[in-house]
Amino acid sequence: MPAPAPSPVLLGVSLKMYFGHHQTLNWSRRIAALAERHPAVTSGAARLFVLPTFPALVPATGILAPYGVALGAQDIATEDSGPYTGEVGGPVLKEIGCRYAEVGHAERRRLYGEGDTVVAAKTAAALRNGLTPVLCVGERDAADPADAASRTVAEAERLLGGLSGAVVLAYEPQWAIGAPEPASADHIATVCTALRGWLDSHPRHAGSTVIYGGSAGPGLLTRLAGTAEGLFLGRFAHDPANVGAILDEIRSPAPAAVA
């Protein structure tokens, strides 16, 4: 019997608030062109998702979705509708074609005071609306890998307690975000393996994926050798050539041998 096909590598990009509107759409066109022709994407070995700013979601979906690139929001309201000025609710995100909603990013925790209660409520809102939460977890200060793993697993357990459904767990050690270099491959492997073990022992989260973010760029996937199931990219995806270089690291399945 042939070996089962490996799960696709998941590559996500958050554009945060770096780009202007037209810059986002131009970047999206370059990513669409890459997705259209890169064998890692066309073979299904890699799956891509992009989280642009809210106003770009609709036009970026038009550009990227035809090439199989999924879209998502960088935030989601805890409530679905009503008097919540400035918020964007899950039903609207779903209606405009989003597949993902990011929750719990370190910047929202640090700059906007979001704590565990809000992050858990946003995770629930995403799941309730048929969106996959991209739930960011990770220690604030540099710690040794075993300590980071136990703290991060405890965090995931706290935030996902009582919830069911597939999630993307984005391991983002806060000290590695916006840094010159990502965390070491050993550190990432230890924590992502622990998160994977936790997910595997919680079948209510079947179908979940563990990815790494925090100054991730070309070369990291190769160093991780499968210990993370993908990457969550920030600055180093601003140049689409870097996204191409990361896709080059993903082996597409060999074409079937001709008898």
Shortest gap between Cβ of 33 and ligand 13P (angstroms)? Answer: 22
79 annotated active-site: no
Find the shortest distance in angstroms from Cβ 233 to ligand 13P. 6
Contact assessment for residue 92 and residue 84, using Cβ atoms and an 8 Å cutoff = no
Catalytic residue among 114, 139, 155, 172: 172
Spatial neighbors of 64 by CB under 8 A, at least 6 apart, are: 28, 31, 32, 35, 50, 70, 71
User: For residue 75, what are the CA distances in angstroms to 131, 136, 146, 227?
Assistant: 12, 12, 30, 27
Q: What's the closest the beta carbon of residue 217 comes to ligand 13P, in angstroms?
A: 7
Ranked by CB distance to ligand 13P, the top (closest) residue is 234
Query: Would you count residue 214 as binding ligand 13P (CB under 6 A)?
Result: yes
Q: Which of 235, 244, 245, 249 binds ligand 13P (CB under 6 A)?
A: 235
Q: Which among 81-89, 140-148, 186-194, 227-235 is the span making contact with ligand 13P, rule CB under 6 A?
A: 227-235
Q: DSSP H helical segments within the chain, as ranges?
A: 21-37, 39-42, 57-64, 90-95, 106-112, 116-128, 145-160, 185-200, 220-224, 240-248
Instruction: Report the chain's terminal Cα–Cα distance, integer Å.
Output: 17
**Among the listed residues 208, 209, 215, 227, the single contact to ligand 13P using CB under 6 A:** 215
172 as an active site residue: the answer is yes
CB of 138 to ligand 13P, least distance (A): 10
- Confirm or reject binding of residue 232 to ligand 13P (CB under 6 A): yes
DSSP of 72-85: EES---SSSSSS-T
Among 10, 172, 194, 208, binds ligand 13P (CB under 6 A): 172
Q: Which stretch binds ligand 13P (CB under 6 A): 30-38, 118-126, 153-161, 229-237?
A: 229-237
Q: State the Rg of the chain over Cα.
A: 18
138: left (phi over 0), alpha (psi -120 to 50) or beta: left
**Span 84-113, contacts to ligand 13P by CB under 6 A:** 105
Residues between 10 and 29 that touch ligand 13P (CB under 6 A): 14
CB of 238 to ligand 13P, least distance (A): 9
Contact 35, 48 (CB under 8 A): yes
3 state DSSP class of 217: coil
Maximum separation of any 2 CA atoms in the chain, in Å: 65
Which residues contribute to the site for ligand 13P (CB under 6 A)?
14, 105, 172, 177-178, 213-216, 232-236
Residue numbers annotated as active site: 105, 172
